[in-house]
Chain A
Amino acid sequence: MKEKNELTAMKPRKKERGFNSLRREQNIFYWIMIVLPLIQFVMFYIYVNLDSFLLAFEEYNPISNKFDFVYFKNFQYIFEDFSRPTGAIRKAFNNSVLAFGLGLLMQPLNVLIPYYVTKKGVGSEFFKVLLFLPSILSSMVLGLLYKYMVDAVIPGIALEYFNKEIMPPLYNFDSRFMTAWIFGAWFGIGGNILVMTGAMSQVPVSCVEAAHIDGCSATREFFAITFPLIYPTWVTLFIVGLVGMFTGGPDLYLFFGETSDSVQTLGYYINVKTLTSIAYASYPEVSAIGLCVTLITTPILMFVRWFLNRLDPNQEN
């Protein structure tokens, strides 16, 4: 009451400023505050993307140090590479799809583990911290420790105790991709733990209790109540994962630097091409690949989003 009286007492001061003056003040403040982020957006998003688009149709001329317009030459090179079974881009594309496909196998764990934590399974608080730990401790540090371990400890133990010679898994061409992928998948199973447990904790307790009274088991509860209710969250995370289908995958650069050779993914190929480019020579090819990936990914994203929304178990007919 006292507060209200104080506010009423202050009202005339608002009138003194006037609505128009307040509006003008707000507008000036708005534009002052937003102008720098907008300039940044124009420079580092609009200009960069336009330049990247143009680069896809250009070729670097080292003599003039300029870019010449070459129409679809870069795309022709990409398609020619793609048509060859041994083409580097083709291999990178295939490996990206393989990594994404293998990632799909981890999807059940990505949902069931947060369920275990939410339902307070044995040691759930302890596991929750451990699952979050790789995000804090740096995947680079864990990755390099993993690299030293699998390449030194495993072959060493095999030789010492089993008298068997094993090639270090990250050096062996047959096993290096899977060894790198296993690291990312295994220590990344807690990647979405906070978001998923956050969503699961919002499932109405009354609904779960009613199910338990009816004799519903934990497994049944998950499939009949929890997963349908957190479906929108799962779809959002799945779509975010899909965005990185071609540019994500195992962190090959961490393990192999610029020498991953035949196991490279598209994201790795783009990074290494840019990093090892002599002057601007490789930039047009990278931009052209980027444009192709955008053209492939966008409709896939739209379709998957539409399809998953249609599958929404909560959808009303």
Chain B
Amino acid sequence: MKTVKKSFNILFIVLFIILAVYAISLFVLLGWGIIKSLQSEMDFILQGGKAWSMPQDWTIDNYLIAFESIKYTIPLDLGGGDVYFDEMLLNSVIYAGVCTLLTVFCDCSVAYLTTKINNKFNRVINFIVYFKMLIPLYGTMPANIKLLTNLGVMDSFMGMFLMTFCFGGTNFLLFQAAFKSLSNDYIEAAIIDGASQFSIMFKICFPLIRTTIGVLFITLFVTRWNDYMTPLIYLRKNPTAAYGLHYLDQKGNTSYHSYIVNKIAGFYIFIIPTLLIFLFAKDKLMGNLTVGGVKG
């Protein structure tokens, strides 16, 4: 009998080479960034901005300077003023944290209602979810901006909160699957016990699917933390760190030498929270997800 290992053939050798090149390229990129972030700005300039040379003068000052040198100037038509990196990080926490909380709560509660409470309107909700997924509608950004402007919440956190309190998409379907797999016995027992509908949902059912809630919260939080495009369009008065770093790269300093080592240090400060989340929740995040099913 041939074992699986013996049957590894040329395909696996080729894939191993590709993955090894991928790993090396990722390490080179991140390693180069770390080295540059530890090079003093003066040393970098004295070396003529040679990006490939090793630093003569190592320092961690760039990480401290990043908080002062990375700044975003709010356009005058939006009120003006400077926003520094620490404030941007705080904005990131608010944007990623609160928006994710709202989306997860909305997805989770609507998924609960459509799976655990028998109501004719559930069909409409399910239709809406599938319609949104199957018929993609493009170019609605101007209409969104118009609506937020008319509501007086454009470029504010409130506008983002309103936009993200929505249901649908893959997360909604994953919540529905989690609630479907939850036995109705818990709910029936709670009803017999005299529990209110509110208690059944919040105190019984939500805790029972806390792993799903946790994983989807973290995944969405990380996505929003890293997202620079949405704040660029809808949150110009409260720039997040991702938006601020991108802005700095594009408009802050046109010269390649200007603050490049500080900027790179800023990148590494920016990825610390998500890296910590990854380290603590690696097993949960890397757990298997299934979409579309497998033929058996």
Interface residues of A (CB under 8 A from B): 7, 10-11, 13-14, 17, 22, 25-27, 29-30, 33-34, 36-37, 40-41, 43-45, 47-49, 51-52, 55-56, 109, 112-113, 115-116, 119-123, 126-142, 144-149, 151-153, 156-157, 160, 186-187, 189, 194-195, 197-199, 201-204, 212-213, 215-219, 221-222, 228-237, 243, 246-247, 253-254, 257-258, 270-271, 274-275, 277, 280, 282-284, 286-291, 293-294, 297-298, 301, 314
Contacts and interface: CB of A to CB of B under 8 A. Distances in A.
7 contacts: A138-B225, A142-B30, A144-B267, A148-B51, A213-B1, A236-B291, A258-B250
B23 A145 contact: no
A129 B27 CA distance: 13
Contacts of B15: 112-113, 115-116, 121
Contacts of B278: 133, 136
Interface in B267-284: 267, 270-271, 274-275, 277-278, 282
A44 to B, nearest CB: 6
Contacts of A301: 134, 136
B264 A231 contact: no
B142 interface: yes
B51 A152 contact: yes
Q: Which 4 pairs between the two chains have the least Cβ-Cβ distance?
A: A290-B139, A198-B288, A236-B292, A283-B142
Contacts of A30: 113, 117, 119, 121
B238 to A, nearest CB: 17
Contacts of A112: 11, 15
Given A217-B7, A289-B139, A233 B289 contact: no
B180 interface: no
Nearest to A13: B194
B55 interface: no
B288 A142 contact: no
B283 to A, nearest CB: 11
A236 B128 CA distance: 19
Contacts of B294: 199, 202-203, 229-230, 232-233
Contacts of B196: 25
Interface string B5-34: 001111110011011001101100110110
Contact of A52 (B7, B118, B137, B295): B137
Nearest to A220: B7
A286 B275 CA distance: 37
A289 B167 CA distance: 26
B9 A219 contact: yes
Given A133-B26, A140-B246, A286 B49 contact: no
Contacts of A289: 138-139
A66 to B, nearest CB: 12
Nearest to A54: B143
A283 B233 CA distance: 14
Contacts of A187: 26
Contact of B296 (A45, A204, A215): A204
Nearest to B34: A145
Nearest to B225: A138
B141 A286 contact: yes
A136 B289 CA distance: 17
Contact of B9 (A34, A217, A280): A217
Most interface-central of B132, B267, B270 (chain A CB within 10 A): B267
A133 B146 CA distance: 37
Interface residues of B, number: 104
B109 to A, nearest CB: 6
B86 interface: no
Contacts of A257: 250-251
B140 A218 contact: no
B166 interface: yes
A113 to B, nearest CB: 6
B106 interface: yes
A135 B222 contact: yes
Given A37-B166, A274-B233, A233 B293 contact: yes
B242 A140 contact: yes
A306 B123 CA distance: 24
B144 interface: yes
Contact of A216 (B7, B10, B12, B147): B7
Contacts of B290: 195, 198-199, 202, 233
A236 B292 CA distance: 6
B271 A138 contact: yes
Interface string B249-267: 1110000100010011001
A122 B113 CA distance: 46
B295 A232 contact: yes
Contacts of A199: 290-292, 294
A247 B229 CA distance: 13
B232 interface: yes
Contact of B113 (A33, A129, A141, A202): A33
